[in-house]
């Protein structure tokens, strides 16, 4: 995938934190998830897990999340290989 940035160290720099926050906020808004809900906490864990696995591009993370939400993925790792 063009423009994909893979973080080899799992360190989130300020610009990456902005991306992760944007993904979280947009996903919550798009799927009517209250940010203080249990579902939002799980979403945050999944986003961080995807980042720690090396997925750092906003569009790619959103694509994986949308696939998971639609039930087309069994595990997030199934889609990671497609984005590397």
* 20-48 mean pLDDT: 93
The structure's pTM equals 0.72
pLDDT digits (tens, 9 = 90+) for 36-78: 999 999 999 999 999 988 888 999 999 999 888 776 544 444 4
What are the structure tokens assigned to 3, written together?
């423009």
**Residue in the structure block whose two tokens are 């939002």:** 40
Q: Which of 69, 64, 74, 76 is nearest to 31 (CA)?
A: 69
- Cβ-based neighbour number of residue 51 at 10 Å: 20
pLDDT of 32 higher than 70 = yes
């Amino acid at each position: 995938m063009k423009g994909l940035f893979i973080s080899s160290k799992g360190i989130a720099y300020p610009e990456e934190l902005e991306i992760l926050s944007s993904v979280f906020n947009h996903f919550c808004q798009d799927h009517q998830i209250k940010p203080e809900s249990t579902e939002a906490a799980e979403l945050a864990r999944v986003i961080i897990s995807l980042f720690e696995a090396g997925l750092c591009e906003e569009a790619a993370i959103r694509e994986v999340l949308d696939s998971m939400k639609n039930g087309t993925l069994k595990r997030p790792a199934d889609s990671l290989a497609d984005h590397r």
